[in-house]
Amino acid sequence: MNQVQHNAIVNFIWSIADDVLRDVYTRGKYRDIILPFTVLRRLDAILEPTKDKVLEMHQKLNEIKIDNQSAQLRKTSGYVFYNTSNYTFKRLLNEPGNIRQNLETYLDGFSSNVQDIISKFKLRNQLETLEEGNITFPLIEKFCSSTINLSPMPVKDKDGNVVMESLTNLGMGYVFEELIRKFNEENNEEAGEHFTPREIIRLMTHLIFEPLKGKIKDGTYLIYDPACGSGGMLTEAEYFAKKLNPKATFHLYGQEVNPETYAICKADMLIKDEDPEKIAFGSTLSKDGFPNLQFDFMISNPPYGKTWKVDADAILDKKDIIDPRFTVGVPRVNDGQLLFVMNIVSKLKINSELGSRAATIHNGSALFTGDAGQGETEIRKYLFENDLLEAVIALPNDLFYNTGIPTYIFILNNKKEEKRKGKLQLINVTSEAFYSKMRKPLGKKRVEFSKDHIRKITDLFLNFENNEHSIILDNEDFGYSQIIVHRPQRDENGNIIKDAKGKPRSDNALKDKENIPLKDDIDAFFAKEVIPFVPDAWYKKSETKIGYEINFAKYFYEFETLRDLEEIKTDILLIEKETENLLIDIVNN
């Protein structure tokens, strides 16, 4: 779908809200009507060509008293869903006086998988308000306009010439996401909460799939997103994977906690003829939708900086971890992003030639938050000591719709190629060489990736070389031994207080911690860095804890030369002079 077509469709649907809903709904409630009706009209347009055949088959099956008609009706419609009512959107307009009742009949005619979508949108709750506002007819009429095409089939004139392009499934996904972004931006909500800008997803798909060029065979592969939103990541992942091997089969699995975006994602799966039951509803952290499955590819932008307190009872029993996915450790309750990482780790394929590859987005706290022995550090420790982390890519700020903070892509792989074993590649693409500034910001998004930028970043990853933007280090380089430095407790006379065994008693007030690089000898470090400054200090080997952190600034820090003092002095004097003249003008006037 070209950008002009995309913009025309989005703008038209957006205009329906102002044209029809303005006097009945507040602006904050527009989405409650526009999003479900957009979904319904898309499904309606898809079913239009086979509508009469479905009705005919439904009547025949009723005549011979066949109760379970689902399989036959799906076959007749050509999709995994159908509608057995006598109505379409256009036919509803034939009886303006009965439109409320007929709309309900139309909704009731959908197959059970669509009923779930209607239910999650809570659409039936809106029908009375639509009727009272006398806007049901104009709303449906707008969606039936001949000026837009929400069908996957092109519109042709009587001579067979295409007058309006078809709207592909991929294009429909773009439309949904742009509508959500606009509604959220309008309401000052988090515009990127449920989806990720498509160019970032494309970069992630390149990083996941390109290392496997020529290795993806003609079999069946499973793709999973544990926080799938409206399904954009799954759609893009499948689209790219099929480019590598069109003969391979890819099944999409996802889970989403937000009812509205779950409904959109499930509708998207229906449209693509995917099994909608592979999209689970609910919290991935407290109710895993696919506890017995492992996946070939995983891609996700889980929520970060958000509490998992509502999931805590399913994960913890008092202080004991009861969910086997998270036995390594749990982060602080105010940020659950690393729980999503461990959920992904629990679904890595072990008995597979290619293993599993995953890409997931995080903010900086996933790299360094937590002291040795705490949950966040224990999770990073597990990733490093099991050699699961292949690369971390630092992204530019202002790349997302809802945040301008630093973000990172984690690449996980449990079957690393030989040269990557025991290594982690850090890639820094925060400089302007890797992005372009947008002419008009979208929310907090001010920069974007072009195809060339994605290619350049992917090549940095694939080339696996040390340069100014890529650094390759041993896993142990990110680890440290944390020791507790003890100092003796003294009495009021300055004498060291000893315990029953005659050893100096440690003074709690003087205790300190030292993080020693994992590759360094602790005793040598202690003798060189501690004893010269506190000769009476000691440490206990039994108290040593191992931690891991990823400090990008340590490896990619660029020193900026300080300004010359004379230059600074000149600027200060200039400012003083300008200020003095301003004060004179104020006094004189």
Q: What is the pLDDT of residues 286-299, one digit of tens each?
A: 999 999 999 999 99
Q: What is the mean pLDDT of the chain?
A: 92
**What pLDDT score does 1 carry?**
56
Q: How confident is the model at residue 273 (pLDDT cuts 50, 70, 90)?
A: confident
Report whether pLDDT(346) > 80. Answer: yes
**What pLDDT score does 547 carry?**
97
How many angstroms from the chain centroid is the CA of residue 47?
31
Q: 241 vs 499, which has greater pLDDT? A: 241
Q: How confident is the model at residue 582 (pLDDT cuts 50, 70, 90)?
A: low
Report whether pLDDT(179) > 50. Answer: yes
CB contact set of 240 (below 8 Å; sequence gap of 6+): 202, 205, 206, 209
CB contact set of 14 (below 8 Å; sequence gap of 6+): 34, 179, 182
The tokens describing 105, both together, are 């009949």
Q: How far is CA 136 from CA 30, 120, 124, 131, 394, in A?
A: 14, 20, 12, 6, 49
- Is 486 strand, coil or helix? strand
Q: 193 vs 112, which has greater pLDDT? A: 112
Q: How confident is the model at residue 69 (pLDDT cuts 50, 70, 90)?
A: very high
Q: What is the pLDDT of residues 15-67, one digit of tens each?
A: 999 999 999 999 889 999 999 999 999 999 999 999 999 999 999 999 998 88
**What pLDDT score does 191 carry?**
39
CB contact set of 390 (below 8 Å; sequence gap of 6+): 411, 412, 413, 416, 420, 424, 425
Report whether pLDDT(190) > 60. Answer: no
**What pLDDT score does 188 carry?**
61
Contact yes or no for 435/396 (Cβ under 8 A): yes
Q: How confident is the model at residue 368 (pLDDT cuts 50, 70, 90)?
A: very high
Report whether pLDDT(285) > 70. Answer: yes
**What pLDDT score does 117 carry?**
95
**What pLDDT score does 499 carry?**
87
Q: How far is CA 280 from CA 28, 229, 317, 347, in A?
A: 27, 11, 25, 16
Domains located in the chain, CATH noted: 3-167 (no CATH), 176-464 (3.40.50.150), 479-553 (no CATH)
Q: What is the pLDDT of residues 192-212, one digit of tens each?
A: 454 688 999 999 999 999 999
**What pLDDT score does 91 carry?**
97
The tokens describing 296, both together, are 């070939």
Q: What is the pLDDT of residues 487-497, one digit of tens each?
A: 999 888 888 99
Report whether pLDDT(354) > 90. Answer: yes
Rounded average pLDDT over 126-130:
96
Q: How confident is the model at residue 181 (pLDDT cuts 50, 70, 90)?
A: confident
Among positive and negative, which fits the CA dihedral 44, 48, 52, 56? negative
**What pLDDT score does 533 carry?**
95
Q: Which of 450, 456, 452 is nearest to 437 (CA)?
A: 450
**What pLDDT score does 588 carry?**
64
Q: How confident is the model at residue 157 (pLDDT cuts 50, 70, 90)?
A: confident
Rounded average pLDDT over 356-368:
96
The tokens describing 537, both together, are 């200090």
The runs of H, that is alpha helices, within 48-82 are 51-63, 70-77
Q: What is the pLDDT of residues 297-338, one digit of tens each?
A: 999 999 988 999 999 999 999 889 999 999 999 999 999 999
